Chains A and B, each alone.
Chain A
Amino acid sequence: DVVMTQYPLSLPVTLGQPASISCRSNQSLVYSDGNTYLNWFQLRPGQTPRRLISKVSNRDSGVPDRFSGSGSGTDFTLKISRVEAEDVAIYYCTQGTHWPPGTFGQGTMLGIK
């Protein structure tokens, strides 16, 4: 199975400040069709997991543009340009390139300082 490693695991951020979460895979996530199936999810307390980003940098419908994804190959980043209170959540990266299975990172807990 592909191993996904996220860091940091805990990220306290001041409201209005940027935040960045990194995700690294132990294999390239470039699929034979040329796409890179790296996704980012948000898990708020008591809510259903929500996909924010697919294929490295494509925001899902309704996702605020303060969320952005970047990266290639094995190294990826989720950035929040200005953290808001509603962004308090656990963030996961996951890959769909080497499926099955779709492996998750350990999760990064974003909180407010």
Chain B
Amino acid sequence: QVQLVESGGGVVQPGESLRLSCAASGYIFENYAMQWVRQTPGKGLERVAAISYDENTIHYADSVKGRFTISRDNSKNTLHLQMNSLRPDDTALYFCARDSNFDFWGQGTLVTVS
């Protein structure tokens, strides 16, 4: 069965960096687009970044553009999100999700910037 497992969250100070990972299994990873979505109590679900199956198409929310970088390693079935210059308003539960239609989600990893 499809499984997505996020890791890498934690507590950091403003200006610091974190790298999130999402390990995929149970399907052919290289065939699907992937996305990062975050959830905050105040803003609900917010798309963060998206990457096509072949990395040719990448998109970022305006709020993270220039600070976050999405990447994938199809040989290791892993999705990454490099987050630099973190701000308090980046505090959220970060999910990875499969496909442009978000058909499967991981359980999330918590990022706290304080």
Contacts and interface: CB of A to CB of B under 8 A. Distances in A.
B44 A90 contact: yes
The range of chain A's interface size is: 20 to 34
Given A43-B39, A102-B35, A102-B50, A49 B44 contact: no
Interface residues of B, number: 25
Nearest to A98: B100
A106 B42 CA distance: 11
Contacts of A32: none
B57 interface: yes
Given A94-B102, A106-B44, 17 more contacts: A43-B45, A48-B95, A49-B37, A49-B39, A49-B95, A49-B97, A49-B102, A54-B101, A60-B103, A90-B44, A96-B101, A100-B50, A100-B52, A100-B58, A101-B61, A102-B100, A104-B45
A39 B97 CA distance: 14
Contacts of A92: 44-45
B89 interface: no
Interface of B: 33, 35, 37, 39, 44-47, 50, 52, 57-59, 61, 95, 97, 99-103, 105-108
Interface in A33-54: 37, 39, 41, 43, 48-51, 54
Contacts, number: 65
Contacts of A99: 33, 50, 100
A101 B34 CA distance: 11
Interface of A: 37, 39, 41, 43, 48-51, 54, 60, 90, 92, 94, 96, 99-104, 106-107
